[in-house]
Amino acid sequence: MASIQHIVERTDPDADLLACTTLTRIDHVDAHVFRAARARLPAEWAREILEGPPAVTRLRLRLGWMMLGIRLRPAAPDVIAGWPVTHRDAEYVRVQAMSPIGLSGQLITRVAGGEVTFATFARLGNPVARRIWAKVLPTHLAVVRSLVDGAASRSR
């Protein structure tokens, strides 16, 4: 029986990825990368990662974000999974949301050299935000890995 090969790897953000965020302070960053089986624009990959999973998964994402106080927007061309697009070009797309608990987040999808990188950047503005983020971080990392792995698998 063939072994399962992980096509998504967690990676450290490089200078090019860090240059995509506009947060004045980065308290958390995680990035996952995979080799793209086909060419797509960054916004298309972001939609595949965040809007491509089954409906129940998308509902759980929205509920999780809302529990963090993130105000999601209705579907529109300049919105991905409820997050407003704040930058879009051929290299990367950035969506951003803020929460009244002091959490500012940016999700960046970057396409370069045949690879897709999906990264979460967070600014934790106060002790409450830091405590909440510490509690949700393990779940966040597992969910992001699953989302990116699913998008990579669906694109093969």
**Which pLDDT score is estimated for 2?**
40
**Which pLDDT score is estimated for 37?**
82
Binned at pLDDT 50, 70 and 90, residue 1 comes out as: very low
**Which pLDDT score is estimated for 156?**
77
**Which pLDDT score is estimated for 95?**
98
Q: What share of the chain is helix, strand, coil (3-state, %, to 5)?
A: 35, 30, 35
Residue 4 has pLDDT above 70, yes or no: no
Residue 90 has pLDDT above 90, yes or no: yes
CA nearest to 131, candidates 52, 68, 74:
68
What average pLDDT does the segment 39-54 reach?
96
**Which pLDDT score is estimated for 155?**
82
- Alpha-carbon distance of 35 to 116, in angstroms, equals 6
What is the set of domains in the chain, with CATH numbers? 26-154 (3.30.530)
